[in-house]
Amino acid sequence: MSTESPARPFRRRMAPAVAHALALGSMGSLSLFAGVACSPSGEGGAASASTAPKSTAPASTAPKSSPPATQPPPPPRPAASAEAGEALYARYCALCHGPRAEGYGADNAPSLVSSTFAATVTDDFLRAGITLGRPGTAMAGFGREVGGPLDEVGVDSIIAFIRTLHTVPRMAPPPFTAMSDAENGRLVYEKHCQKCHGTVTQRANAVHLFNPALLATASDAFLRHAVVNGRPDTPMEAFSPVLDGRATNDVITYIRSQAGKLPPLSSLHAPAPAPAEALDPHHGHDHGPVGGPPPGAPPVPAWGPIPLNPQGGAPKFTLRDGRFAPMAEVKKALDEKKKIIIVDARAPSDWLTLHIPGSVPLPYYDLKLIDRIPNDDTWVIAYCGCPHHASGEVVDALRRRGHKNSAVLDEGMFAWQKANYPVVQAPGMAGIAAPPVYDTHGMPQPMPSGPGPGTKRGK
């Protein structure tokens, strides 16, 4: 029996062109390329001996040239390893998912080691999540295909490390295809699921089940197994005591039925990153408490001019807790052409997809880039999507280096977008679900349950 869980196929070895093609559909698009293979074109070769005309010219007396020197074979690709993955996980993932993948480090990022998740999740599902991310959430795409720092060996090394954190036997959940009562599923969902998982258009404080990237890679059986068995050691309870089999099937059918209302994956990824000559080759590899990108990682996109409005006056902010700058005051400073620097603390793939105009990418894992920011009392505002954690790392580093006029954008990128403030975005990001409501500590809050009736029904 295969130990892989029934996720929709995601090509293990993705060239950038294939990765871009993977985003050309919405639901199920990843499966289109599961068996893609290159085949000889059969074109452009020399004519065969039986059909080529014979030359009647005398044989050349010119000395024959020496055959080209044999080129040494390319070095073998490094193998993925859990040891390398541990370092990469610490650099990129621990900030949100916790040092041992237990989750809830920032923005309620889910546990990756809950026993029912570890037993049924496939490497393909993890690979797709790490590489492409979950557009519209704090989960960035870290694959180079979308502008991130990781090649496929790095992604696979992180997966290998995650697998070492929980030794539960792997299994395939019982086969299931969502073909039940979607309308009753909506009522069940509104009563039992909406409070934590949100709606099609509004995220709450748990995994957003209507994210296009998640639905493109999670099978019906994988989702159903989670509903029935829960996620031990997390707030996700098992619903088998509450919902009978038919009601559970209805919920999954409802979730799957909403796929057509979601933006297609192709509209959620930015165009391919700029060619090398347009990128900044001088970014640092630091450094800082979480280190910099691995050797060979693409540089961050080129920075625009900083500061913005260099001849403008200094803005004034009323900082909450001496740390958080209100969105409205930052927006006012930009409108009034105040002198300011805006930095995006997320992975470059997120900046390419959605950012505040004039902001520059300064990922939380590449803090050496702070060296490029003038330390002359210019205000520096950092933002992220979680909504304070990654940007808080950057602001802490700025203040350690003497940038006293630095602050975190309160409530982050997605709240800025929801407020209809100016953004530069990929087309589909305009239709992505709204962010959660956060408390004053930056924690996402649940939302009210819907009006659904009781759902325990006979099988």
CATH of the domain at 325: 3.40.250.10
How far is residue 208's CA from residue 189's CA, in Å, rounded to a whole number? 13
Give the residue-averaged pLDDT of 348-360.
Answer: 95
Is 229:443 a contact under the CB 8 Å cutoff?
no
How large a percentage of the chain has pLDDT more than 70? 75
Judge if 342 and 249 occupy the same domain: no
The whole-number pLDDT of residue 456 equals 37
Of 263, 288, 320, the residue that ends a domain is 263
Residue-wise pLDDT for 180-201, tens only, equals 999 999 999 999 999 999 999 9
Judge if 368 and 250 occupy the same domain: no
Which of 51-55, 126-130, 368-372, 376-380 is predicted with the least confidence, judged by mean pLDDT? 51-55
Going by pLDDT thresholds of 50, 70 and 90, the confidence category of residue 293 is: low
Give the residue-averaged pLDDT of 386-397.
Answer: 95
In a domain, 215, yes or no: yes
Judge if 258 and 158 occupy the same domain: yes
Going by pLDDT thresholds of 50, 70 and 90, the confidence category of residue 38 is: very low
The whole-number pLDDT of residue 299 equals 81
Burial code of 269-298, b = ≥16 C-beta within 10 A, e = fewer? bbeebeeeeebeeebbebbbebbbbbeebb
Mean pLDDT highest for which of 23-27, 66-70, 417-421?
Answer: 417-421
In a domain, 209, yes or no: yes
Does residue 57 have a pLDDT over 50? no
Judge if 217 and 93 occupy the same domain: yes
How large a percentage of the chain has pLDDT more than 90? 62
The whole-number pLDDT of residue 58 equals 47
Give the residue-averaged pLDDT of 373-401.
Answer: 96
Into how many domains does the chain fold?
Answer: 2
The whole-number pLDDT of residue 271 equals 63
Judge if 201 and 328 occupy the same domain: no
Judge if 19 and 156 occupy the same domain: yes
The whole-number pLDDT of residue 430 equals 84
Of 231, 263, 295, the residue that ends a domain is 263
Residue-wise pLDDT for 80-128, tens only, equals 999 999 999 999 999 999 999 999 888 789 999 999 999 999 999 999 9
Does residue 15 have a pLDDT over 60? no
Is 139:207 a contact under the CB 8 Å cutoff?
no
Judge if 255 and 348 occupy the same domain: no
In a domain, 425, yes or no: yes
Residue among 449, 443, 350, 446 nearest 109 (CA): 443
The whole-number pLDDT of residue 346 equals 96
In a domain, 201, yes or no: yes
The whole-number pLDDT of residue 228 equals 97
Q: Can you give the residue range of the structural domain that contains 417?
A: 306-431
In a domain, 313, yes or no: yes
Does residue 14 have a pLDDT over 60? no
The whole-number pLDDT of residue 442 equals 60
Judge if 324 and 203 occupy the same domain: no
What lies within 8 Å, CB to CB, of 347 at 6+ separation is 92, 133, 140, 141, 142, 147, 148, 149, 363, 365
How far is residue 232's CA from residue 366's CA, in Å, rounded to a whole number? 34
The whole-number pLDDT of residue 428 equals 87
Does residue 457 have a pLDDT over 70? no
311 or 41, which is more confident? 311
Which of 254-268, 283-297, 441-455 is predicted with the least confidence, judged by mean pLDDT? 283-297
Residue among 157, 162, 130, 124 nearest 143 (CA): 130
Structure tokens, 333: 């400073």
Going by pLDDT thresholds of 50, 70 and 90, the confidence category of residue 443 is: low
CATH of the domain at 177: 1.10.760.10
In a domain, 282, yes or no: no
How far is residue 35's CA from residue 183's CA, in Å, rounded to a whole number? 35
Judge if 340 and 399 occupy the same domain: yes
Which of 30-34, 64-68, 74-78, 391-395 is predicted with the least confidence, judged by mean pLDDT? 30-34
Judge if 256 and 340 occupy the same domain: no
In a domain, 395, yes or no: yes
Give the residue-averaged pLDDT of 347-365.
Answer: 95
Is 410:324 a contact under the CB 8 Å cutoff?
yes
What lies within 8 Å, CB to CB, of 95 at 6+ separation is 105, 106, 290, 364, 389, 390, 393
How far is residue 27's CA from residue 175's CA, in Å, rounded to a whole number? 19
Instruction: List, as own/partner pairs, every contact residues 274-279 make where C-beta atoms lie below 8 angstroms and the sequence separation is at least 24, other chains included.
Output: 274/301, 274/302, 278/302
How far is residue 287's CA from residue 366's CA, in Å, rounded to a whole number? 7
Going by pLDDT thresholds of 50, 70 and 90, the confidence category of residue 4 is: very low
Judge if 427 and 314 occupy the same domain: yes
Going by pLDDT thresholds of 50, 70 and 90, the confidence category of residue 284 is: very low
Judge if 97 and 164 occupy the same domain: yes
Of 205, 235, 263, the residue that ends a domain is 263
Is the N-terminal amide bond of 387 cis, ω within 30° of 0? yes
Residue-wise pLDDT for 124-140, tens only, equals 999 999 999 999 899 99
In a domain, 232, yes or no: yes
Residue among 428, 92, 36, 75 nearest 266 (CA): 428
Residue among 140, 131, 139, 143 nearest 103 (CA): 139
The whole-number pLDDT of residue 362 equals 97
Is the N-terminal amide bond of 75 cis, ω within 30° of 0? no
Give the residue-averaged pLDDT of 385-390.
Answer: 92
Residue-wise pLDDT for 204-256, tens only, equals 989 999 999 999 999 999 999 999 999 999 999 999 999 999 999 999 999 99
How far is residue 413's CA from residue 408's CA, in Å, rounded to a whole number? 11
How far is residue 140's CA from residue 354's CA, in Å, rounded to a whole number? 11
Going by pLDDT thresholds of 50, 70 and 90, the confidence category of residue 24 is: very low
